[in-house]
């Protein structure tokens, strides 16, 4: 499959009253993506932090919220795996804190309809994560071979560092997913411009999916600004500005867009420019990080 529909979430953080409320919310969102014809549904960075509301004793505490949400990780993953199978689509679940021994990492998971799961941890932490929240970086960088195509994930801030996506391009990446969580429009635009730059450099698609809305009860995701976007290189067969689809800023919604990965191969071979091929010609192109290729087909 080279042509399919992507649904990118502008996902609202809610103060949930129960696990059942969370499960019902996620079911509603995934069902809407499926009804819209999506083969891939992309949720944002830290969307799972709304689960901190289920523990009133710790939800207002940064460290406590990490622990309480991470403790629900297996249950969250089982729910996503079930929804992916029942609705017959791939799902990039909202990233969630995961415990590795005595530390926490920021983890995204890609669920397939056949039950396989790919894991990508965030590699470069923001100031808030490292200075206040004490969420740690983790590795390796991965590329996922799926029935849809070759998919990479750069979690929010990771998308602002070109060598990560470039290493994934060298491994064959056709589609980059950039789940995000930003509390200002400045932050949103940094991630968006990074995603658009990665699409230009790699001659591939990039998809941003943000959290939206306010959650005053949460010190982690209290304010959320942004819009979902699907981007490509501004070249033949693509929009002149590279914007394939763009959501309404701060609205709670799915953004749907049809993409065709055959265009990626065509542009890399015969595009008006050949950024992907010519990367190594720039002075100081440097050594790229290793990429672990994971087969989810």
Other C-beta atoms closer than 10 Å to the C-beta of 117 total 17
Other C-beta atoms closer than 10 Å to the C-beta of 167 total 18
* Angle at the Cα of 216 from the Cα atoms of 211 and 217, rounded to 5 degrees: 105
Given this model, what pLDDT does residue 1 score? 75
Number of domains in the chain: 1
Peptide bond into 114 cis (omega under 30): no
Given this model, what pLDDT does residue 243 score? 98
- Please give the chain's pLDDT, 297 residues, in tens: 799 999 999 999 999 999 999 999 999 999 999 999 999 999 999 999 999 999 999 989 999 999 999 999 999 999 999 999 999 999 999 999 999 999 999 999 999 999 999 999 999 999 999 999 999 999 999 999 999 999 999 999 999 999 999 999 999 999 999 999 999 999 999 999 999 999 999 999 999 999 999 999 999 999 999 999 999 999 999 999 999 999 999 999 999 999 999 999 999 999 999 999 999 999 988 789 999 999 999
d(CA 261, CA 202): 13
| Mean of per-residue pLDDT scores for the chain | 97
Q: Which domain holds residue 34?
A: 3-295
Instruction: Of 200, 250, 213, give the one whose Cα is nearest residue 228.
Output: 250
β-bridge mates for residue 39, sequence order = none
Instruction: Of 122, 249, 262, 235, give the one whose Cα is nearest residue 178.
Output: 122
Using a 10 angstrom Cβ sphere, with 0-12 exposed, 13-18 middle and 19 or more buried, the burial of residue 147 is middle
pTM, 2 dp: 0.98
CATH number for the domain harbouring residue 266: 3.60.110.10
pLDDT digits (tens, 9 = 90+) for 257-296: 999 999 999 999 999 999 999 999 999 887 899 999 999 9
d(CA 39, CA 113): 10
């Amino acid at each position: 499959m080279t042509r399919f529909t992507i649904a990118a979430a502008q996902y609202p953080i809610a103060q949930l009253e129960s696990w059942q409320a969370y499960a019902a919310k996620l079911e509603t969102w995934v069902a809407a993506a499926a009804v819209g014809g999506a083969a891939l549904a992309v949720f944002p960075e830290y969307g799972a932090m709304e689960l901190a509301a289920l523990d009133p004793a710790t939800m207002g505490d940064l460290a406590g919220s990490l622990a309480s949400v991470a403790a629900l990780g297996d249950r969250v993953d089982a729910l996503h795996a079930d929804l992916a199978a029942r609705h017959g689509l791939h799902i990039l679940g909202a990233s969630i804190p995961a415990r590795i021994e005595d530390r926490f990492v920021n983890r995204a998971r890609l669920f397939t309809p056949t039950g396989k799961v790919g894991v990508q941890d965030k590699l470069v932490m923001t100031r808030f994560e490292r200075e206040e929240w004490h969420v740690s970086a983790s590795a390796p960088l991965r590329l996922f071979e799926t029935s849809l195509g070759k998919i990479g994930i750069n979690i929010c801030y990771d998308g602002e560092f070109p060598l990560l996506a470039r290493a994934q391009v060298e491994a064959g990446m056709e589609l980059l997913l950039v789940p995000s969580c930003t509390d200002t429009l400045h932050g949103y635009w940094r991630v968006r411009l990074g995603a658009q730059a990665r699409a230009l450099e790699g001659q591939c698609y990039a998809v941003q999916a943000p959290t939206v809305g306010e959650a005053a009860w949460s010190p982690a995701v209290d304010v959320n600004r942004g819009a979902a976007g699907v981007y490509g290189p501004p070249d033949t067969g693509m929009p002149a500005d590279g914007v394939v689809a763009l959501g309404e800023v701060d609205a709670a919604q799915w953004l749907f867009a049809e993409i065709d990965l055959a265009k990626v191969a065509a542009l890399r071979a015969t595009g008006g420019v050949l950024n992907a091929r010519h990367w190594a010609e720039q002075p100081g192109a440097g050594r790229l990080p290793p990429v672990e290729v994971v087969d989810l087909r």
